[in-house]
Amino acid sequence: MPSSKKTISLINDSLSSELSIKDASVGPSVVDLANLNKDTGLFTFDPSYSSTASCESKVTYIDGDEGILEYRGYPIEQLANKSTYLEVSYLLFNGELPKKEELSEFRHNVKHNMVLDSNLKQLFTGFLPNAHPMGMLMSSVAALSTIYHEDIDIRNPHHREAFFFNVLGKMPVLVATIFNQINGTKIGSYNEERSYAENILTLFFDGRGDYEINPVFSQALDILLVLHADHEQNCSTSSVRLTGSSGTNPYAAIAAGIAALWGPSHGGANEAVVRMLKEIGSPKNIPTYIEKAKDKSDPFKLMGFGHRVYKNFDPRATIIRGECHKVLGQLNQDNNPMFELALQLEEIALNDQYFVDRNLYPNVDFYSGVIYQAMGIPKEMFTVIFALARTVGWATHWCEMMENPALKIGRPRQLYLGSEKRDYISIDQR
Ligand code: SDX
C-alpha cells in the first residue's frame, strides 16, 4: 500500500525521526519504523507483538473488536456455510474463488501428492508407544525436508507451488498414519470422488473397508477445517514466516509452525480444554474453577477462553458451538455431559465481571474438542487436526513471503538489562 502523507515525529533528546504512516486496505494503519533506530538510536519494545505488524499480507483480515474474520475478503460465516476446505484452500492460495475446472485441477494436484515415501513410513516405527502425536507430526514433517531439499529453488514460483501441493497432499496421509499408529489400526484409502473431509474420515477409520461415512461428521469436519485454515499472523504462522525468512527449507519452516501450534496457549488449547472439562467433572465444581482462573497466584487458566485479537466473541467459536449441537444431536447425545458442562461454564464465565472486564470469550478451541471426541478422535489428536487444517495457511503465508524479492531475514533487537562491560578475573583471583 502507498504510504499516506501522514507522518509522526519521534524525538529522543536532540535526535528526531519523521516516521511515515502506511494505510491498510481495511483496518489499522501502521507506523513505518524503518528509520527509527538510524535517526534516534531507539528501538521499539513490544515483546508479545501486541502492537506490532510484522509484515504486509493480503491473505486474511481480522477485526478483533467486531469479531470479524475474512479469508481474501470473504466472511468466515459464508465460507463455513457455503464452501469446502479444498475450495477455501484454493481461495487462500490463489486469492480468488475457483471455477469448477480450476477446483478439480486443484484437487488433482493435491491428490497426486498423497503418497508417502517408503523410508518415511519407517520413521514411524521409531516412536515410543506413548509418543505424543504432535511430536510425531513435527518430526515427520521435518523429515520431509530430508527428502525434498536439493531440488527446491525457493525463489522459483513453480517450485513454491510444487511445495504447496506436496505439503497439502502429504499432511492428511501423515496425520492418518499417526492416527492409525496410535490406535493400532490400518490406514484407510483415499478416493477422489469423496470430499477432503470424507477422505480424512476414511483414511482414519476405514482400514477394514467397512466404514460408513456419517455425512453429519464429514460436514462438521469440513467446517472445522475451513475455520482453522488461516488466522493472519498468529504465533505459529509468525513462526513459519520468521523461520522461512532465513531462506531455510520450507518443510522445516512448517515444522517450526507445528512446534509453535503445540503450545497450550495456542493450538494445544483444544486438547487442554477437554482435559480441563474432565478435571472439572461436574457443574457443581464450576465455581471453584472459575475462582482458580481468577486467582493470580494460581497458574490455572480457563482453557479455550480469551484471545489476543478477539476482544469480542471469536466468530469461529459461535459456528463450532452450532456444529456441536448438530453432531451430538445426530448421535442422540443432546445431553452429552461434556458439552453440557462446556455450555454452563461459558454461561457462568460470561456473566462474571472478571471475564467481562477482560473481554474473555470462548475461542476457536473451546468447543472443537467436543466434536472431535464425539467423532471418536482421541484428545491427543485434536491439535494434529488443527495443524492439518492450518497447513494451507502456513504454506500460503510462506509463499506470500517468498514472493517478495526484497525479503530480509527477521532479526529483532532487545532491551539489554545485563551487566555493563567488566574485565575477566582469573579463577585464582575470584
Ligand atoms: C488460538 O492468535 C491467534 O490467532 C490464535 C488462534 C489461531 O487461530 O491461530 O486463534 C488459535 O491459539 C486460540 C487461543 C487458544 N488458547 C487458549 O484458549 C488458552 C487460554 N487463553 C489464554 O492463555 C489467553 O487468553 C491467550 C493466550 C489466548 C491470550 O493471551 P493474551 O492476549 O496475552 O492476554 P493476557 O494473558 O494478557 O490476558 C489479559 C488478562 C490477564 O489478566 P490481568 O493480568 O489483566 O489481570 O486476561 C487474563 C490474564 O490473566 N486471562 C485469563 C485467560 N486469558 C486471559 N484469565 C483466565 N483464563 C484465561 N483463559
| CA-to-CA dists, residue 275 to 5, 79, 228, 345, 357, angstroms | 52, 30, 21, 14, 26
Ligand 1 binding pocket includes 293 (Cβ within 6 Å): yes
Residues 43 and 90 occupy one common structural domain: no
Mean pLDDT for the stretch of residues 34-61: 96
Please list, residue by residue across 272-311, b when 16 or more beta carbons sit within 10 angstroms of its beta carbon and e when fewer do.
Answer: bbbebbeebeeeeebeebbeebbeeeeeebbbbbbbebbe
Q: Is the CB of 363 under 6 A from ligand 1?
A: yes
Identify the active-site residue in 228, 231, 266, 397.
266
* Span 220-241, average pLDDT: 98
Query: Would 414 be classed as within a structural domain?
Result: no
Identify whether 177 is part of a domain. Answer: yes
Q: Tell whether 316 and 272 lie within a shared domain.
A: yes
Residue 376, in any domain of the structure: yes
266 and 390 together in one domain: yes
Distance CA 384, CA 182 (A): 13
Residues 158 and 225 in one domain: yes
Q: 133 lies in which domain range?
A: 84-406
Confidence (pTM): 0.97
The confidence score (pLDDT) of residue 11 equals 81
Is 315's C-beta closer than 6 angstroms to any atom of ligand 1? no
Q: How far is the CA of 308 from the centre of ligand 1 (A)?
A: 6
Q: Give me ligand 1 centre to Cα 249, in Å.
A: 31
| 108's grid cell | 488433482
Return the pLDDT at 12.
78
CA 229 – CA 225 distance, rounded (Å): 6
* Closest CA relative to residue 273, chosen from 310, 228, 242, 305: 305
pLDDT band at 4 (very low <50, low <70, confident <90, very high): low
Annotated active-site residue in 206, 222, 365, 397: 365
Distance CA 235, CA 260 (A): 7
In angstroms, rounded to a whole number, what is the distance separating the alpha carbons of residues 162 and 190? Answer: 20
pLDDT, average across residues 250-278? 98
Residue nearest to atom 33 of ligand 1 (CA): 308
| Residues 46 and 131 placed together within one structural domain of the fold | no
Whether residues 25 and 119 share a domain: the answer is: no
Same structural domain, 109 and 31: no
Angle (nearest 5°) at CA 323 between 321 and 325: 75
Which of 132, 228, 307, 397 is flagged as catalytic? 307
Instruction: Indicate if ligand 1 lies below 6 Å from the C-beta of 326.
Output: no
Residues 226 and 349 in one domain: yes
* Residue 162 CB neighbour total at 10 angstroms: 16
Judge whether 206 counts as a catalytic residue: no
pLDDT above 70 covers a percentage of the chain that reads 99
233 CB within 6 A, ligand 1: no
Decide: helix, strand or coil at residue 164. helix
pLDDT in tens, 269-285: 999 999 999 999 999 99
Whether 12 and 92 map to the same domain: the answer is no
Instruction: Judge whether 279 lies within some domain.
Output: yes
**Is ligand 1 within 6 A of the CB of residue 266?**
yes
25 and 160 together in one domain? no
Going from the Cα of 301 to the center of ligand 1, the distance in angstroms, rounded, reads: 9
C-alpha to C-alpha distance for 313 and 319, rounded to whole angstroms: 11
Here the cell at position 107 is 484437487
For ligand 1, atom 31: residue with the closest CA: 308
**Residue whose CA lies nearest to ligand 1 atom number 3:** 234
Bridge pairing between strands 30-31 and 15-22: antiparallel
> Per the domain annotation, does 77 fall within a domain?
no
- To the query of whether residue 307 is one of the catalytic residues in this protein, the response is yes
Q: Ligand 1 center to residue 251 CA distance, Å?
A: 29
Are the beta carbons of 394 and 232 closer than 8 angstroms? Answer: no
Asked, for residue 415, whether it belongs to a domain, the answer is no
Band of residue 2 on the pLDDT scale cut at 50, 70, 90: low
Mean pLDDT of the chain, nearest integer: 95
Residues 158 and 12 occupy one common structural domain: no
Phi, psi for 217 (deg, rounded to 5): -65, -45
Distance separating alpha carbons of residues 83 and 72, to the nearest angstrom: 14
Cβ within 8 Å of residue 270, ≥6 positions away: 304, 364, 365, 368, 369, 372, 382, 383, 386
Range with lowest mean pLDDT among 156-165, 248-257, 309-318: 309-318
pLDDT in tens, 391-410: 999 999 999 999 999 999 99
CA 225 / ligand 1 centre spacing (Å): 22
List 69's β-bridge partners, or say none.
62
Distance 305 CA to ligand 1 centre (A): 7
**Confidence at residue 333, expressed as pLDDT on a 0 to 100 scale:** 86
pLDDT given at position 6? 86
CA distances from 181 to 172, 176, 388 (A): 14, 8, 17
423 in a structural domain: no
Within-domain flag for 305: yes
Q: What is the CATH number of the domain that holds 42?
A: 2.20.28
CA proximity to 174, closest of 240, 124, 213? 124
pLDDT at res. 44: 96
Total domain count for the chain? 2
- Give the total residue count for the chain: 430
Q: Which atom of ligand 1 is nearest to the CA of 301?
A: 58
CATH number at residue 181: 1.10.580.10
> Are 46 and 88 contained in the same domain?
no
d(CA 384, ligand 1 centre) in Å? 21
Q: How do strand 74-75 and strand 60-63 relate by DSSP bridges?
A: unpaired
**How many angstroms separate the CA atoms of 43 and 288, rounded?**
44
Check pLDDT > 70 for residue 330.
yes
Q: Is 338 a pocket residue for ligand 1 (Cβ < 6 Å)?
A: no
In order of 46, 165, 198, 213, the CA distances from 191 in angstroms are: 48, 17, 9, 13
**Whose CA is closest to atom 55 on ligand 1?**
306
In the residue annotation, 228 being an active-site residue is answered as no
Residue 116, helix vs strand vs coil: coil
- Whether residue 1 is predicted with pLDDT greater than 80 in this model: the reply is no
Could you give the 3-state DSSP secondary structure of residue 9?
A: strand
